[in-house]
Structure 1
Amino acid sequence: MKIVIDMNLSPEWVSVLTNAGYHALHWTQVGNPKAKDSEIMAWAVHNGYIVFTHDLDFGSLLAVSQANSPSVIQVRTQNVFPDEMGELILNALKQFESELTTGALVTINQAKTRANILPLR
């Protein structure tokens, strides 16, 4: 899986995901740090990436557009640093690999993780 990490998450996530065997990059490596969410989503679709974010707007964009991609992983906790959430994120990536590959919105918090298949209804 290829994952682009949104601006609202630390670039430290790149090494966490890369060390786990994923191809990961931070948005600052490929795009304008002030880009709109829609630009990041369009880039992800065009380049075959999953968006990893702390921003709920990506889920809203998926719902409004009824799009089949890109897949989005959204973290809904206050502490989104790798030392706190790394294991939980890696477990969710393994658990929902199939769904993320075909199109899903995966929402992760400390209590539970769930996947909604795209397009969102």
Structure 2
Amino acid sequence: MNILVDMNLSPRWVDLLTNAGMKAAHWSTLGPANAPDAVIMAFARANDYIVLTHDLDFSAILAATHGDKPSVVQIRADDISPGAIGKPVIDALSQMAGELYRGALLTVDPRRTRLRVLPLRNPDRFPP
């Protein structure tokens, strides 16, 4: 599993993910710090990365474009440090690996984990 850690998360996430057996890179080592989210998404898609972020803009991009890749993992917590929420994130990544490989939006917060398969569709506007 290849994880691209967004700029809004500490580079310490790379060590945590690597120690859990995943390949991880912080965006600061791959591209410009001020790159728009769309550029990061395009890079992740082209290079088979899953984006790990604290930013809701990535899910908005998926919803607006009905994109099926890259998968996005959103951390929704007050304390987004690896020491505070790292274990639930690692557990969720491991448990949902199949869905993430196929394309999903995974939201992890201290109380629960939610998964939506991509592409995101509004059930009222886009019935199955």
Aligned partners of 1:82 and 1:94: how far apart in 2? 16
Q: What residue number does 1:15 align with? A: 15
Normalising by structure 2, report the TM-score: 0.94
Give 1 or 2 for the bigger CA radius of gyration.
2
Taking the aligned partners of 2:97 and 2:48, their CA distance within structure 1 comes to 14
User: Hey, what does 2:124 align to over in structure 1?
Assistant: none
Paired with 2:48 and 2:101, the residues of 1 have a C-alpha distance of 10
**1:94, CA displacement in angstroms?**
1.0
Aligned twin of 1:91:
91
1:42 CA displacement: 0.2
The DSSP-based 3-state class of the residue aligned with 1:106 is: strand
Q: How many residue pairs end up in the alignment?
A: 121
Partner of 1:58: 58
SS of residue paired to 1:55: coil
Structure 2 residue ranges without an equivalent (≥5) = 122-128
Structure 1 unaligned spans of 5+: none
- 2:76 counterpart residue number: 76
- Identity, in percent, stands at 49
Q: 2 CA distance for matches of 1:120 and 1:40?
A: 19
List structure 1 segments (4+ residues) > 6 angstroms apart after TM superposition: none
Aligned partner of 2:90: which letter? L
- For residues 62-115 of structure 1, the C-alpha deviation after alignment (integer angstroms, 9 at most, x for no partner) is 000001100000001110001101111110011111110100000010111011
**2:82 and 2:45 mapped to 1: Cα distance?**
25
Equivalent AA in structure 2 for residue 23 of structure 1: K
Alpha-carbon RMSD: 0.4
User: How far apart, CA to CA, are the structure 2 residues paired with 1:93 and 1:4?
Assistant: 13
TM-score of the aligned structures, taking structure 1 as reference length: 0.99
